[in-house]
Structure 1
């Protein structure tokens, strides 16, 4: 699918994803939800649940601006990050009858899972402004059920100044070049990788997506896993990914399995490490911890074939959705807020300047999005992208993948054992 951002032609295989990975729940009812906001007055409180800790402050500022312009509307924002923690918390809110009015959804399989809880947004003004293909993850039977939040991409974000200090003149784009760069950094007294493998999603979602995206036909491979004609064990790309994982552990910080996301980012932003497996979503955190830090993004190479390795994994990060059984006043206000966010001057400014988002709408100019966002636009413009495949996986398998790989990093499983475990995890949860 093709995307265009102002002067840039973004030719990419953009697929939906989300750092908030949701699971389904049931047994909630409209009567179990919060009392109608307009039962006694025109005051409306929008309950908004989101999983991106990186933009918690920016989102609060943006909703405060909306409230200033719409005094009858206030927001109750709950931010729960950490993938599984956020999914469990959202599930619990629905189960307890406290479903939020607005929350996130990754699309594709996740959209199908949550379909009976999602408001049809097909008639919203912003639909016509979305880039071609960006609505696909949330489109079911011709109806649009979510607003794409932004485009995101990831690889190895790196510190340009530390690379220069270590004498790295050519950016590593292949596995051998990355290994050589890691050796140079270590020789210069610099820890090459900031690794936070205490977070299952760093491994099970973003990490393992790479060998899936490297398949000649990812959709055909996933279909093969589902019908039993393909396996992860014995597939060259997954063996290559384990070598890349080994490299990061060998040249990474100590105690990777007890290093969480915030610690991982802090180590990188403080200059303690030179590279981190994360994407442009950490730009606001970097700006807060180390303003004007000189950063860029490198690919996560599985081979020494530069034609296939010089690519970043890029996709629709997540989608805002509205609970279809929320009080009518809440749904109306929620729709107005989502429209305001991507059409008003203040909303559009905040998304690019404060959130540092690569916009998913052709009416929002991609400017002042920070160095990481700028690099994404460059890769998109050149068409050097890998797809996000994990939203097509069976429900719950990414968490199991993360656990499998944590056991490998911890030495509890051999290469052969972990590859078998990945197949077993898929087979256990496939429909």
Structure 2
């Protein structure tokens, strides 16, 4: 994201002139194949805050210094603004040259529409240096359409001091124990969970993980294949989530809260205002950058995987998450792929890893992970027995959007578990 990266509902269009700007973005570039011809790379990414913002800026400067004929126009955008602007650009048939991608169903649609390049042959000389798991969301029908620079998983980040204050001695390993943890925190006068209700995508993490733990990874894959989510396991997942919602665990005003704003989910955690958040590997860095101190809660922060559900078919070693990567637009100049290779070099990946905001995909760069929590996440990923990409990226965009919208309605108390599954299934069948 995000961050996360995250990483998902579309907001209003960003700037009335965006389309005209995009259509003229590559004008004047030489596409003759001459590597020394003037080239401009239009690069959009969502690492729009510390610590990654300056890292990407420095990477671009370094490349431009070494390649005097190449210009790199960078547009760092907030997650939701990025998706809105990218939608406008792709609908106009004019994607940026290099842009943020989470892979999955969205990338498949872009590939099928001819908006992104098949880069299989271009990356073949160096793609073997990446973790194979990280490439899965970017590989469509055996062809590579994007390259991940970050791989991770969603889990619970918690404030050790607030747990101690509530006399909670260890992180919960079952759903029932998590509910007990929430009750203990409330009894101690502590806000249990921070949630960005306005943005919807953070809430879908809960329902997705519960669906995985109850039905197993196979249930999520089968639902997509059958275009049917109206099954007992998914109903049970919603019912379990409702158990949590009924405890009123979230911070005041959570339904209007954003993720990365000064009073949003990440800041609530970073300022010590809540004991837990369910978020991806980028959480510590966004907590820090969003907090008043710009440092977050430091070594008070801990991590634990999403707990098991008693009687469920899924294993606690099956992880839910994804990474951040880049796709290459259909009209991108030749230097774009060379620059992408530079971004995925061991040196570049080590610099990214040292920020604590990125878990590198290049195997040789994993030695640069220094944050204890990031090491825990990396170890959990290494021992994972299954992997599920974010549902709002894995599924076709309309289905992913409906999942987000429906889970938000469940959490707001506007619809029941059974009702939201009928809505999701209806959209799935319409695709």
**1:380 partnered with 2:381:** yes
Structure 2 match to 1:56:
53
Q: Residue 252 of structure 1 aligns with which residue?
A: 250
Aligned to 1:336: 338
Partner of 2:177: 177
User: Contact 1:102/1:322 (CA < 8 Å) preserved in 2?
Assistant: yes
Q: Distance in 1 between matches of 2:180 and 2:223?
A: 36
- Counterpart-to-counterpart distance in 1, 2:337 and 2:364: 18
Deviation at 1:367, TM superposition (A): 2.6
Where 2:132 maps in the other structure, the secondary structure is coil
Matched residues in 1 for 2:319 and 2:398: separation? 21
Q: Which runs of 5+ in 2 are unaligned?
A: 11-18
Displacement of 1:224: 4.5
Tell me the secondary structure at the aligned position of residue 93 of structure 1: helix
Residue in 2 that maps onto 1:412: 414
Q: Does 1:106 align with 2:102?
A: yes
Asked if the contact 1:157/1:275 (under 8 Å) is kept, the reply is yes
Structure 1 partner of 2:42 = 47
Instruction: Say yes or no: does 1:320 pair with 2:326.
Output: yes
Structure 2 residue 269 is the aligned partner of structure 1 residue 239: no
Q: 1:202 to 1:148 in 2, by over 3 A?
A: same
Verify: 1:19 aligned to 2:17, yes or no. Answer: no
Instruction: Give the 3-state SS of the residue equivalent to 1:147 in structure 2.
Output: strand
2:16 is aligned to none
Q: Distance in 2 between matches of 1:225 and 1:306?
A: 20
- Distance verdict in 2 for CA 1:73–1:275, change over 3 Å: same
User: Do 1:197 and 1:259's aligned partners in 2 also have CA atoms closer than 8 Å?
Assistant: yes
CA distance in 1, matches of 2:283, 2:378: 16
Query: Is the Cα contact below 8 Å between 1:358 and 1:369 reproduced in 2?
Result: no
Q: Which residue of 2 aligns with 1:367?
A: 368
Q: Report how far residue 193 of structure 1 moved.
A: 0.7
Structure 2 Cα separation of the partners of residues 213 and 306 of structure 1: 9
Give the deviation of 1:266 after TM superposition: 0.3
Alignment of 1:4-153 (within 5 A): 19-20=6-7, 34-38=26-30, 42-54=37-49, 55-83=52-80, 85-96=81-92, 98-115=94-111, 116-122=114-120, 123-124=122-123, 125-153=125-153
Higher relative contact order (CA 8 A, sep 6+): 1
Match of 1:3 in 2: none
Distance 1:258 1:220, change over 3 A: closer
Task: Say how many residue pairs are matched.
Answer: 401
- Counterparts of 1:165 and 1:176 in 2: how far apart (Å)? 21
In structure 2, relative to structure 1, the CA distance for the partners of 1:31 and 1:48 (3 Å cut) is: closer
Say if 1:194 and 1:267, in contact at 8 Å, map to a contact too. Answer: yes
Say what the alpha-carbon RMSD is for the aligned residues. Answer: 3.3
Deviation at 1:49, TM superposition (A): 1.4
Change beyond 3 A, Cα 1:185–1:277: same
Instruction: Work out the CA distance in 2 between the residues paired with 1:424 and 1:57.
Output: 44
Written as runs of structure 1 = structure 2, the 5 A alignment for 1:382-401 is: 382-383=383-384, 386-388=387-389, 390=391, 391-401=393-403
C-alpha distance 385-374 of structure 1, shift in aligned 2 (>3 A): farther
Shift of 1:89: 0.9
Counterpart Cα distance in 1 of 2:133 and 2:356? 22
Deviations along 1:327-365, one digit per CA (max 9) or x if unpaired, are: xxx3x22111111122252x1321211253222122323
2-structure distance, mates of 1:397, 1:228: 10
Contact 1:166 1:185 in 2 (8 A): yes
CA distance in 2, matches of 1:302, 1:246: 18
Shift of 1:166: 2.2
Question: In structure 2, what is the equivalent of residue 5 of structure 1?
Answer: none
Specify the alignment match of 2:207 in structure 1.
Answer: 208
Q: Distance in 2 between matches of 1:368 and 1:250?
A: 36
Query: Does residue 290 in structure 1 map to residue 295 in structure 2?
Result: yes
Q: Which segment is superposed worse, 313-322 or 40-49?
A: 40-49
> TM-score of the superposition, structure 2-length normalised?
0.81
Tell me how far apart the structure 2 counterparts of residues 224 and 305 of structure 1 sit (CA, whole Å). 20
Change (3 A) 1:267 1:403: same
